[in-house]
Structure 1
Amino acid sequence: MMKKTIFLLLIVGSLMGVKPAFAQYTTAIGLRAGVTNGLTVKHFISQDAALEGILHARWGGLMVTGLYEVHKDIRDVKGLQWFFGGGAHLGTWNTRNSSSRNRPPWAEPNTSYTIFGLNGIIGLDYAFQDAPINLSLDWKPAINLGYYNYGWDELALSIRFVF
């Protein structure tokens, strides 16, 4: 079953113009799972710098996060890099119909909040050599700015299709 899946991904990738070596990719899109779940897109703007966009749900709302990341090779493992960077987020949190454990500690019940703030990120990024798949494990701390100063962090795993 796994061989058929990889074969199918390689065919789809070749139809989309993917190069045979996937160790250093240009763009990848996929799913992010952690404290928040959502979609992630990563695009390299140079050999060692990438932009990542994340659209994810949290506390009854939706957030968009944009990150600038610097990638560095881990020489002992081909396709593996570590990265660090930062960026910002913007979104809404909605505490309507939520229990106290499903909303930020400072939030009032039955209230919507517009939030914005800063993010950091550090993690590992692995691009498979023989398949158009990328895995990323990261830690992303964040803090809201403005009236609702509140910090949090999350650990997440992303799986992306490389093209």
Structure 2
Amino acid sequence: MSLFSARSAKAQMRDFNTMVGVVGGTNLGGTVKQFITQPGALDLLVYRRWKGTVAALLYEHHFDIREFRGLEWYVGAGGHYGMWRQPNGEPPWVYKIDQDYNAFGVDAIVGLEYNFNRSNFYLGLYWKPAYNFPDFTDFWGDEAAFTLRYSL
């Protein structure tokens, strides 16, 4: 390994482990991302959707886009659990909510994240398709959102 390679590898290493932020798009909520390895992170998303509350825990593997300084993409998977309480909930799979609904399932995620001039602020965009079990077996392919995160 040359001296140049060692310097560039060190320059791209993270000097933080945790990010907190907000999520907005088809959902609205918050996020906490904890890096557990250099490229790997656990991402907890808690958000409102269809007047209910959903929590998703995902593992994400990050990859640098070397041609664009500060930009990286990630891919991952995990699971979610959602709750809709009558009479306020509006899940799309029921005509009229007359009982409480809970749904859980598996998720995939793919996204981009951009760091502003080596600051603590990151702007991201993701697409997170999901599949529900058992009562509401259905594919949710429309979930996409922007994130604004701050590294601690």
What range is the shorter-chain TM-score in?
A: 0.7 to 0.9
Residue from 85, 99, 116 that aligns with 1:94: 85
Whether contact under 8 Å (2:109, 2:126) holds in the other structure is yes
- What is the TM-score of this pair, normalised by structure 2? 0.83
Moved more, 55-64 or 102-111: 102-111
Higher relative contact order (CA 8 A, sep 6+): 1
Residue segments in structure 2 that go unaligned for 5+ positions in a row: 1-10
Q: Distance in 2 between matches of 1:127 and 1:36?
A: 23
5 Å matches for 1:90-129? Answer: 90-97=81-88, 102-106=90-94, 108-129=96-117
Residue from 124, 145, 148 that aligns with 1:136: 124
Q: Give SS of 2:127's match.
A: strand
Whether contact under 8 Å (2:13, 2:38) holds in the other structure is no
Structure with greater helix share of residues: 1
Q: CA RMSD in A?
A: 2.0
Q: Offset at 1:130?
A: 3.8
- What is the TM-score of this pair, normalised by structure 1? 0.78
Letter in 1 for 2:120: P
**Once the two structures are aligned, what percentage of the paired residues are identical?**
38
Question: Structure 2 vs 1, CA of residues 48 and 108 (structure 1 numbering), >3 Å: closer, same or farther?
Answer: same
Displacement over 6 Å in runs of 4+:
none
- 1:159 aligned onto 2:148: yes
Q: Distance in 2 between matches of 1:28 and 1:103?
A: 30
Question: Structure 2 vs 1, CA of residues 147 and 103 (structure 1 numbering), >3 Å: closer, same or farther?
Answer: closer
Q: How many residues align?
A: 140
Whether contact under 8 Å (2:93, 2:136) holds in the other structure is no
Q: Give SS of 1:125's match.
A: strand
